Structure 1
Amino acid sequence: MLEMKPCRAIALALVVAAQCASLATAAGPRVIIVGAGMSGISAGKRLSEAGITDLVILEATDRIGGRIHKTKFAGVNVEMGANWVEGVNGDEMNPIWTMANGTGGLNLRTFRSDFDHLASNTYKQDGGLYDEKVVENIIERMDEVEESGSKLSGTLHHSGQQDMSVMAMQRLNDHMPSGPARPVDMVVDYYQHDFEFAEPPRVTSLQNTQPLPTFSNFGDDVYFVADQRGYESVVYHVAGQYLRTDRKSGAVTDPRLKPNTVVREISYFPSGVTVKTEDDKVYRADYVVVSASLGVLQTDLIRFKPQLPSWKIVSIYQFDMAVYTKVFLKFPKRFWPEGEGKEFFLYASGRRGYFPVWQQFEQQYPGSNVLLVTVTDDESRRIEQQSDNQTMAEAVAVLRKMFPKEDVPDATEILVPRWWSNRFFKGSFSNWPIGVNRYEYDLIRAPVGRVYFTGEHTSEKYNGYVHGAYLAGIDSADILINCAKKKMCKYDVKGKHD
């Protein structure tokens, strides 16, 4: 994460005036959308509903979906990126759940994830299980501290000036004041925080994550998507509502979608925008919506001319792009416990985040003999830079330590997604930094002239989630529609303390 000194100017109330369309034809303005992930596709749908159909969607990869992407592994389709519908069975209906398993009609094959039995499935560094009561006590204490943190969070000033890290809150509650030291404390702490946010409690904001709006609003349940059509079928479902698709295959055939088109430069003027691609093509439009990931915006893949103003650059660099890596391993036979309450298990290493959270797929992919282990942050970056054979050897060595009495064979296949190394993503999802509030979210979402921004990182309440990406696309499209159709082109950003 790059550090920049805060610019005093952005502490003032900011008004971003997007130019009104002067060259738009009677059919409406022409809009370029950069990126065909969930946010870009969602924004396109919203624009189309408002009658803005002169669109072109420039996508760097050969597919739509972005960080929602299935791939074939060990004879089944598994998810390299987003895998859960998070926030189900609450007071409000998660829009992604509606599409995946509700009235949307997709009826994806999903499984409610049951994390209630971790206390009886936590393995020592050198093998064997911890006493269930010992782990239960740690989890109960952790839950007490989280509840106390949520209450404290509600008392802090909305400006974010009193915000603190989750770790600082833990210390205030005399909870492992020096940080978790024992392997078992570390892995429970990791499961509680890093497994959700992909970064440790010392860098995660208390005020923005406790309580977490996703679960407060949509419910505490999470459902694992294990459908052979892939989680990406939700993105295709949205796309199919305004882009022409092949009825048999479901593939998008609409000529307005341009795959394998890498945007390298966006120039913006009072009268319009031009977008240059890596193959030296130039696209012209009235507006552009940039739905590239936060990680991409923090690199020089896309150059803006003129350079974005300092308040915009600072807002982009203030947020973290986290890395969350799901490593899939295929074995010739099963050697791990199965049955009710055995889906998830933890490995308590003395090295925080070292192959910590495991999942077996007795229900989801029966007979596949596949295990999933999740790593994040520094371990993700380390693993991305070494060979898959090295990662496979490390993971199998951990399993042999966990199950010393079992005949643990070598893995036969491994899948290691490399979101951080991929120049079109540069990470998995954004994480809440400390001290950020609605003001910074208004800044990161704010248009610069005719350049509009969307993506899960622009969702004030649901960043990092698929539903956040979907809703952000709608929100950003509405800002553009207000300008292009209603001539309401002022985007007001209230001051940080207002």
Structure 2
Amino acid sequence: MLWLKTFKATTITMLVITHLQTIQFHQSQVGVTHIRHSQVLILGGGAAGLAAAKTLAESNIHDFRILEGSNRIGGRIKSVAFGGKTVEAGANWVIGREGSPLWDVIQRYNISGKRSNLDNVLIRNFYGDNVTDTEGEFGWKKLEIAQMTVSEIIENIEDKKTEDMSLRTCLEIGKWLPKTPVENVVEIFDYDFEYGGSPEVTSCYSVGLNEDAGNDLYYVADKRGYEFILKTYVEDALTPHDDRLHLNEVVTSINYNETGVAVTTHSGKVFTAAVVIVTFSIGVLKSGCVTFNPPLPDWKVDSLFRVRLENYVSVYLKFPNTSSRFWDNTEYILYADERRGVFPVWQNLEVDGLFPPGTNILKMVTQGEDADRVTELTDAEITADVMAILRRVYTNVVDPEDVFITKWKTNPLYRGCFCNMETLAFKSEIFEAMRAPVENVFFAGEAFDDKFACYTTGAVRSGIYTAKKLLAYILP
């Protein structure tokens, strides 16, 4: 329609409000506040939403509003002060360099950190024995043989000679059947640690998509934090105290049809626009906590439900500066518990390129089913859990002076940490359906990128991609 393309604000507002009243997009209850109509609404102020806003601004579309449910922008990029340093509650790594806008910021501002060395690893068993060169070496070699078969299967999937399958199936075809705690932790380090879920729930093909890029991960350890990278990237699109940014506005419903959209928030405000970009996490989209009116079509719901939002818990432990570091001086320490997945990966944040010696911060990570178990515990119980492990593995262990624990799954604005692709999620027609708009409702987020899915870089790329699709939709 001509009015949709020209965006004559007064005419649009009258048309939209009249139609919304007709189909009861908003009710005349006490406490509802109507906000001035905008060309575009962006729901979510995380990486995807901010990248979309920047892309619109670069195309001279400035009449947009961002609705963010929390009191800050950044989403699951959140830098916090801890132990005299800045650590990350959410995203820690930047993946991809060539053509990555985030990597451009890292280079321009000399962001501290290091390329992760996944070979700088030591394995300790349940009793604290160093088994790196014995059971560990045997496990790595055995897994590497299976991975050759996995690569062949991925090529066949790419060539459409076979259908996608679970990573577990691919590994079993390669004769990889982990039977010992050490073999389990070797598998976890290569897969669960990166994808957040076990091979049973992970797409074999999705692993192949990130196989090369996954070897080039930059771990951010800068006093300005990961937040600085994202905010610097979008600083020319949003001014300080920008009145187009609405914080603490939790979306409860999205009403849409060919004449426009109306978004209602928990505070009772109604925001209207011609088009909307939804950047909620997959966990929120699947939870049903946001009502779409009319409901999203079956083809859209089916595609979204093929993506998981995994749980990932990091425990940062700050030990007194007066004590000596008692843990190993490798970049990663793998702990082979008798039960699969119990805090399997530890990061030595004093490794060269991160924090200086004497910082005395150790990071312990768990994911998947064990992360779900841990999330149900109190901070005191989690601390007691990890300290019992450390005291069994090492000697001269002292009590930490501070502990910081991440718990994204219990946060209703996210309901998890990062996405993971199930079998067939990257089948071309399914993936295209997943990121396709529904009328004037567009979607973006880390799950909607075809190259770096489930990473922050993917979220940024998705925001750019979706904004460009929206521009093609609204511009003459």
Report the TM-score, using the length of structure 1 for normalisation.
0.85
Contact kept in structure 2, 1:20 and 1:483, CA below 8 Å = no
For residue 188 of structure 1, report the CA deviation from its aligned partner. Answer: 0.4
User: Given residue 187 of structure 1, which amino acid in structure 2 is its aligned partner?
Assistant: V
Q: Percent identity?
A: 33
Mapped to 1, the partners of 2:287 and 2:8 lie a distance apart of 35
1:99 equivalent in structure 2: 105
Q: Does 1:54 align with 2:56?
A: no
Mapped to 2, the partners of 1:152 and 1:311 lie a distance apart of 28
For residue 398 of structure 1, report the CA deviation from its aligned partner. Answer: 0.7
User: Given residue 373 of structure 2, which amino acid in structure 1 is its aligned partner?
Assistant: R
Q: What is the correspondence of 1:379-390 to structure 2 with a 5 Å cutoff?
A: 379-390=370-381
User: Given residue 445 of structure 2, which amino acid in structure 1 is its aligned partner?
Assistant: G
Contact kept in structure 2, 1:330 and 1:411, CA below 8 Å = yes
Q: What is the correspondence of 1:414-493 to structure 2 with a 5 Å cutoff?
A: 414-436=403-425, 437-486=427-476
Residue 229 of structure 1, aligned match among 207, 215, 224: 224
Of residues 429-438 and 58-67 in structure 1, the stretch that sits farther from structure 2 once superposed is 429-438
For residue 110 of structure 1, report the CA deviation from its aligned partner. Answer: 1.2
User: Given residue 206 of structure 1, which amino acid in structure 2 is its aligned partner?
Assistant: C
Contact kept in structure 2, 1:69 and 1:232, CA below 8 Å = yes
For residue 66 of structure 1, report the CA deviation from its aligned partner. Answer: 0.6
For residue 131 of structure 1, report the CA deviation from its aligned partner. Answer: 5.0
User: Given residue 169 of structure 1, which amino acid in structure 2 is its aligned partner?
Assistant: C
- Find the residue that maps to 1:267 and give its secondary structure: strand
For residue 378 of structure 1, report the CA deviation from its aligned partner. Answer: 1.4
Deviations 1:55-110 (Å, cap 9, x if unpaired)?
1000001111111101122222210111011245xxx4443222222xxx222111
2:136 equivalent in structure 1: 135
For residue 200 of structure 1, report the CA deviation from its aligned partner. Answer: 0.6
Identify if the C-alpha distance between structure 1 residues 85 and 431 changes in structure 2 by more than 3 Å, giving closer, same or farther: same
Q: Does 1:306 align with 2:304?
A: no
Residue 244 of structure 2, aligned match among 241, 256, 273: 256
- Find the residue that maps to 1:185 and give its secondary structure: helix
Contact kept in structure 2, 1:166 and 1:203, CA below 8 Å = yes
Q: Does 1:35 align with 2:44?
A: yes
User: Given residue 432 of structure 1, which amino acid in structure 2 is its aligned partner?
Assistant: M
Contact kept in structure 1, 2:76 and 2:91, CA below 8 Å = yes
Mapped to 2, the partners of 1:87 and 1:52 lie a distance apart of 28
- Find the residue that maps to 1:474 and give its secondary structure: helix
For residue 157 of structure 1, report the CA deviation from its aligned partner. Answer: 6.1
Mapped to 1, the partners of 2:258 and 2:8 lie a distance apart of 16
Contact kept in structure 1, 2:325 and 2:360, CA below 8 Å = no
Identify if the C-alpha distance between structure 1 residues 19 and 227 changes in structure 2 by more than 3 Å, giving closer, same or farther: farther
Mapped to 1, the partners of 2:48 and 2:381 lie a distance apart of 36
1:316 equivalent in structure 2: 304
Mapped to 2, the partners of 1:80 and 1:162 lie a distance apart of 37
- Find the residue that maps to 1:393 and give its secondary structure: helix
Deviations 1:439-492 (Å, cap 9, x if unpaired)?
112111111111111001111221111110010001111111111014xxxxxx
Report the TM-score, using the length of structure 2 for normalisation.
0.89
Identify if the C-alpha distance between structure 1 residues 421 and 472 changes in structure 2 by more than 3 Å, giving closer, same or farther: same
For residue 327 of structure 1, report the CA deviation from its aligned partner. Answer: 1.2
2:75 equivalent in structure 1: 66
Mapped to 1, the partners of 2:66 and 2:163 lie a distance apart of 41
Decide which structure has greater helix share.
2
- Find the residue that maps to 1:199 and give its secondary structure: coil
Q: Does 1:272 align with 2:263?
A: no
Contact kept in structure 1, 2:166 and 2:201, CA below 8 Å = yes
1:44 equivalent in structure 2: 53
- Find the residue that maps to 1:81 and give its secondary structure: coil
For residue 144 of structure 1, report the CA deviation from its aligned partner. Answer: 2.5
Residue 319 of structure 2, aligned match among 318, 331, 334: 331
2:117 equivalent in structure 1: 114
Q: Runs of 4 or more off by more than 4 Å in structure 1?
A: 26-29, 157-161
For residue 261 of structure 1, report the CA deviation from its aligned partner. Answer: 1.1
For residue 275 of structure 1, report the CA deviation from its aligned partner. Answer: 0.8
| CA root-mean-square deviation | 2.1
2:273 equivalent in structure 1: 285
Deviations 1:210-262 (Å, cap 9, x if unpaired)?
2x33x53x5722221011111011221122121113xxxxxxx2111111111
Q: Does 1:398 align with 2:392?
A: no
Mapped to 2, the partners of 1:315 and 1:20 lie a distance apart of 32
Identify if the C-alpha distance between structure 1 residues 376 and 128 changes in structure 2 by more than 3 Å, giving closer, same or farther: same
Contact kept in structure 1, 2:96 and 2:457, CA below 8 Å = no
Contact kept in structure 1, 2:48 and 2:460, CA below 8 Å = yes
Mapped to 1, the partners of 2:376 and 2:133 lie a distance apart of 36
For structure 1, list consecutive stretches of 5 or more residues without a partner in the other structure: 1-17, 246-252, 487-498
1:249 equivalent in structure 2: none
For residue 161 of structure 1, report the CA deviation from its aligned partner. Answer: 6.4
Deviations 1:114-168 (Å, cap 9, x if unpaired)?
22132xx210111221151431232122123213211221112666962111111
Q: What is the correspondence of 1:166-245 to structure 2 with a 5 Å cutoff?
A: 166-176=167-177, 180-210=178-208, 212-213=209-210, 215-216=211-212, 218=213, 220-245=215-240
Contact kept in structure 1, 2:349 and 2:361, CA below 8 Å = yes
Contact kept in structure 2, 1:23 and 1:271, CA below 8 Å = no
Mapped to 2, the partners of 1:448 and 1:157 lie a distance apart of 28
Identify if the C-alpha distance between structure 1 residues 219 and 83 changes in structure 2 by more than 3 Å, giving closer, same or farther: closer
User: Given residue 383 of structure 1, which amino acid in structure 2 is its aligned partner?
Assistant: V
Mapped to 1, the partners of 2:202 and 2:184 lie a distance apart of 16
Mapped to 1, the partners of 2:143 and 2:158 lie a distance apart of 25
Identify if the C-alpha distance between structure 1 residues 338 and 135 changes in structure 2 by more than 3 Å, giving closer, same or farther: closer
Q: Does 1:369 align with 2:356?
A: no
- Find the residue that maps to 1:56 and give its secondary structure: strand
Of residues 181-190 and 163-172 in structure 1, the stretch that sits farther from structure 2 once superposed is 163-172
2:29 equivalent in structure 1: none
Deviations 1:177-220 (Å, cap 9, x if unpaired)?
xxx1211001001101000100011111112212x33x53x572
Of residues 328-337 and 307-316 in structure 1, the stretch that sits farther from structure 2 once superposed is 328-337
Contact kept in structure 2, 1:384 and 1:416, CA below 8 Å = no
Contact kept in structure 1, 2:145 and 2:174, CA below 8 Å = no
Mapped to 2, the partners of 1:106 and 1:19 lie a distance apart of 45
Contact kept in structure 2, 1:291 and 1:453, CA below 8 Å = yes
Contact kept in structure 1, 2:316 and 2:404, CA below 8 Å = yes
For structure 2, list consecutive stretches of 5 or more residues without a partner in the other structure: 13-37
Aligned residue-pair number: 444
Identify if the C-alpha distance between structure 1 residues 93 and 43 changes in structure 2 by more than 3 Å, giving closer, same or farther: closer
